[in-house]
Amino acid sequence: MKVGTYKHSSWFLIFMLNISFGLSSMSFAFLMAAIFTRERVGAVIGFFVYLAGLFISVPDYAAASTKNFMSLIPIVGFREGLGVVGYLEETYGGLTSDTTSVDYRNYSFAQAVAMNFVASLLWWILYYYADQTNPFQVGFRRPYYFPFQKSYWLECFRDDQDADFLDEEKEDSDGGEGNSVPREAVDASKEALRKAGKCVEISKLCKNFKGPSGETVAAVKGVSMSMYEGEIFALLGHNGAGKTTTMGAITGFLAPSSGKVSVYGLRVPKDMAAIRRITGVCPQHNALWPELTAFEHLECFGGIRGLNRSSKTFRESCDHLLLEVGLGGRKEFRSDSLSGGMQRKLSVAIAFVGDPKLVILDEPTSGMDPYARRTTWDLLKARRPGRIICLTTHYMDEADVLGDRIAIMGRGELKCLGSSSFLKKCYGCGYVLSFVKKQDVDRGDATVLAFLKDRITDKSLIGQVKVLSSAGQELLVQVPFAAAKDFPALMDDLDAEIAGKSDTLKGLLVAYGVSVTNLEEVFLRVADPGAEERSEGATARSGAVVPLDSVDNDSANQTDDQDARIPETVVHIGEEDEPIIEPATTREQTMALIQRRIRFGLRDRKMFICQLLLPLILLAGALALVKQGASERVAPPLAISIADLNEPLQKAGSPRPWHIIHAGGDSDVGPFWSPLCANADDYCDTLRTVATPPNQSSDMLAMQSHLRESRDDYEWRVSFENALRRIGASRFMLDC
């Protein structure tokens, strides 16, 4: 700072002015971001609002209170501060610690810096208020009067209500009274997890939105359910069933209209900050930056979560995570160069950064090929122990394989909850017998159906035996689960028919097979809005809580992937959990965001050109035009003379601080001038006539009074200039 514009001023003080201006501008930008929901709209409007400060003119001799108030606008305060610095540089030999309080037109450098810091605090408070009350953004919204609520100021004090809250929600979770949907009773291990607070509890959750005509639309209606540690919880439902809304209430993206939610004993929204530290989310749409690589995404989100991004352990864990999702060879590829399925893999990997205890996956395998889906399944099953994984999907086979427990929603309501085998048994889907008929047989469906019904001993089940499809040689028949006790005799008869040892079917069949109805059949019956009217069996079973022991072993072990579902962490209930991650520090979070911004800026060529290169080009062009225009002008010669100076200066004497050089007019004002000079003898050497309009003696007396009180050379000069203007001097010059 010792070169350039301010050669004599303290670089530290000028740096403080710039820092205070930067803080106030940043706080103002945060306020704009909280008000506007769309980034581009907020950036454009915020820029013009900020730019408007350049056109706000503050009168030179405005009152100090007026200037302080106008300095709350960042650019105005900075401009006034620079004006003070320029004056001190010219008059007082620069800005130093001794001149920070020197007043220049009712404003000082200390005032400029102080008001910038005050503006920073003010804009930050307004930003926080707008962020907490703005109804257009996602998250929980506080009432507009929340600063006056006692509960708001007491939120920092934790109480011991978590255990009471869990006991309070017991009746409204799994298997409680008043629930009118089929639910599978939980076993003792899950009940122990619930008491230990290792679960997600949702009780009577409701979420309403405003419709296009102003009516209230219920997206979620009184949903109550629980998710336990060590399990994969699958949430199914048709489009618009309320799955994403329910997940949004758990993660804090949406504020529930009513109901209660707790995560590992932490309440939503009271403990939202703590919940977010242990939660990983894969949203329905990829939240990726095109300019960052796959590894840099994990690094950025790890920094936001408070992890040490430079540690070897963290980098190795990121490499291993990318290998698990199949992106090990593309860690240095930018996200915009990845295919849609690979971007989805990266989103899943981001959800597991920092080893969160709760992982929310909204349709994680959408857009993936079958091999990538299998890889993701392996990742989820491998990382299931010690955490809660909640996923939504439209692939029924995926929910069947991964879901330890499955909840199906429809029209915002919970329709059923339990394991895959429980749901199939509860909704009477049963087994599917597939038959292959001879090629030369055109008919025979009725014969096969009658053959099956004759071998079912419980005649009340005959009405549930029905043909699912008959195409070509293939015939599919659905048989209820309760008829499984007749299968041994039935299969012996079928084997005899195919071997030719029996002639009941007259050689109609070539082969047969048995399978369990897939989950899609259950989903169609449950999620279909008209299923209850068309399915008496489902309606009759509505509201039943079926014991776990009543599920047939054959249906419970339908796939190898569903074996050994008891969580490994059950044996450790009651032990202290080691913290998964350290609390996020402001430094780590800030550095992660700054690093992302730097990489984003360097790789975004359009932004780099518009923000850096284009302003430099325009500035250089403007300077070139100014230089060219200046070279064409020919100024007249100026005579340098000391004829107009007072005698002490002409004689090279020692001048006094300030001198009246010239003040001329049309009439003599000597009677008014003498009293003034009597009180300003230390300042005046010579006296000349000045012009004054009639009846201005009061202005002269006011000037006399001000001169008597003033003891500062600069203040005297300014006061004298103003006084000469008020008395109507047509021309005057002051110098030292």
SS (H, E, C) 300-326: HHHHHCCCCCCCHHHHHHHHHHHHHCC
Give me the percent of the chain exceeding a pLDDT of 70.
71
Dihedral angle, C-alpha 132, 133, 137, 141, nearest 10 °: 80
Q: What is the CATH number of domain 430-516?
A: 3.30.70
Residue 710 has pLDDT above 60, yes or no: no
Residue 428 main-chain phi, psi, to 5 deg: 60, 30
pLDDT for res 583: 53
Residues of the chain with CATH 3.30.70: 430-516
pLDDT for res 7: 80
Give Cβ neighbours of residue 22 (< 8 Å, ≥ 6 apart). none
Burial 401-418 (b: 16+ CB within 10 A, else e): bbbbbbbbbbbbbbbbbb
In 3D, which of 54, 79, 74 has the Cα closest to residue 118?
Answer: 74
The number of beta carbons lying within 10 Å of the beta carbon of residue 290 is 12
pLDDT for res 498: 85
Give the tokens for residue 398: 């995926």
In 3D, which of 432, 504, 442, 427 has the Cα closest to residue 473?
Answer: 442
How confident is the model over 710-733, as a mean pLDDT? 54
Higher pLDDT residue, 413 or 168? 413
Residue 708 has pLDDT above 50, yes or no: no
pLDDT for res 167: 46
Instruction: Report which DSSP code applies to 528.
Output: S
- Average pLDDT in the chain: 75
pLDDT for res 138: 63
Residue 78 has pLDDT above 80, yes or no: yes
Helix, strand, or coil (residue 661): strand
Alpha helices, DSSP H, located in 331-461: 340-351, 370-382, 396-402, 420-426, 445-454
pLDDT grade, residue 439 (50/70/90)? low
Q: How far apart are CA 77 and CA 70, in angstroms?
A: 7
pLDDT for res 353: 92
Q: Which of 165-179, 319-333, 353-367 has the lowest mean pLDDT?
A: 165-179
- Is the CB of residue 99 less than 8 Å from the CB of residue 90? no
Higher pLDDT residue, 213 or 117? 117
pLDDT for res 344: 93
pLDDT grade, residue 363 (50/70/90)? very high
Give Cβ neighbours of residue 229 (< 8 Å, ≥ 6 apart). 193, 198, 199, 357, 386, 387, 388, 567, 569
Which amino acid makes up residue 483? A
How confident is the model over 699-710, as a mean pLDDT? 39
Alpha helices, DSSP H, located in 174-291: 188-195, 243-251, 272-277
pLDDT grade, residue 570 (50/70/90)? very low
DSSP H/E element including 699? helix 697-709
pLDDT for res 561: 40
DSSP H/E element including 534? helix 531-534
pLDDT for res 639: 67
Higher pLDDT residue, 445 or 342? 342
pTM score above 0.85? no
pLDDT grade, residue 202 (50/70/90)? very high
Q: Which of 120-134, 242-256, 647-661 has the lowest mean pLDDT?
A: 647-661
Which amino acid makes up residue 551? V
In 3D, which of 60, 87, 54, 86 has the Cα closest to residue 73?
Answer: 54
- Is the CB of residue 378 less than 8 Å from the CB of residue 368? no
Rounded to 10 deg, the angle between the 74-91 and 109-133 helix axes is 170
Residue 4 has pLDDT above 50, yes or no: yes
How confident is the model over 200-214, as a mean pLDDT? 87
DSSP letter for each residue of 102-120:
--SSS--HHHHHHHHHHHH
Name residue 416's beta-bridge partners.
Answer: 408
DSSP H/E element including 513? strand 509-516
> Averaging pLDDT over each range in 216-230, 607-621, 634-648, which range is the top one?
216-230
pLDDT grade, residue 229 (50/70/90)? very high
> Averaging pLDDT over each range in 273-277, 534-538, 623-627, which range is the top one?
273-277
pLDDT grade, residue 553 (50/70/90)? very low
Rounded to 10 deg, the angle between the 312-324 and 340-351 helix axes is 140
How confident is the model over 17-23, as a mean pLDDT? 93
E strands of 558-675, at which residues?
A: 659-664
Helix, strand, or coil (residue 410): strand
Long-range contacts for 533-540 (Cβ within 8 Å, ≥24 apart)? 535/427, 537/427, 537/428, 537/464, 538/426, 538/427, 538/428
pLDDT for res 135: 60
Give Cβ neighbours of residue 537 (< 8 Å, ≥ 6 apart). 427, 428, 464
How confident is the model over 74-96, as a mean pLDDT? 88
